Amino acid sequence: MDVLELLEAASLLAPADTPAENALTADDVWDYLAHDQWETALNLMEEFRGAGPLPVSFWQSMAEAAEELRLEGSRSWCWWRWAEARSGVIRARLTLRPAAETRRRLPIPGAGVLKPLWNVGNRAPDGGPSLNIASLWVENTLELPPGGTASVRLRPLTPSQWRHLAPGDVITMHESAPVAGTATVLEVRPPVEPPLPQVGEGLR
């Protein structure tokens, strides 16, 4: 399947009558496809974030098209959304501690590279805190510096251990002994489709 076929398949999955954040619809995307403006069409389709949950197949087609077009940023984002469709969405407002208070001196990369530990309220058999791993995607920026605040998306390694979270809950991020950051949960949504046995499998 070539890039055009992938984008056409994905555009058919997006609601034609539901505006995206930029007030465009799938019908607008077809106009760009008809004029071979594939990269523009792909970028517009990435913004169907406000149109409700989209199926795994939509994000897979998008990711494969981005790979064909060698658009690394779009490829990473679409595979991330593919994983969220499988594991659920967790968004939070994260504030990192200043560099003087932690070991971190460099900004956190934004595109899902970091996999820190989180205290989400789970307990170990001895009654102490049990920390859980989740990848971190920083929204609308390439990186988050120490002391900075941003909205983030979390992709847990074990989603079932995060199911109890609700908007307003406060969780903490850990990279070493001191707390590295504090986050307030903004949004929790269940998977669009049944989760994989291990969420990380299949990610590119």
CA pair distance 30, 32, nearest whole angstrom: 5
Which of 35, 42, 47, 53 lies closest to 9 in space, CA to CA? 42
pLDDT of residue 163: 94
pLDDT at 116: 95
Can you tell me the distance from the alpha carbon of 133 to that of 87, in angstroms, rounded to the nearest whole number?
A: 14
Q: What is the pLDDT along the chain (204 residues), one digit of tens a residue?
A: 688 888 887 777 766 555 545 455 667 777 888 788 888 888 878 876 545 678 898 899 889 999 998 999 999 999 999 999 999 999 999 999 998 888 888 999 999 999 999 999 999 999 888 999 999 999 999 999 999 999 999 999 999 999 999 999 999 999 977 799 999 999 999 998 765 554 444 444
Q: How many helices (H) and strands (E) does the chain have?
A: 5, 8
Q: CA-to-CA distance for 144 and 106, rounded, in angstroms? A: 9
Local structure of residue 197 (DSSP, 8 states) = S
Element (H, E) at 85: helix 72-87
Kindly report the CA angle at 33 between 28 and 34, in degrees rounded to 5? 95
pLDDT at residue 9, rounded to an integer: 79
pLDDT value, residue 23? 53
**How confident is the model at residue 200, as a pLDDT?**
44
pLDDT score at 18: 52
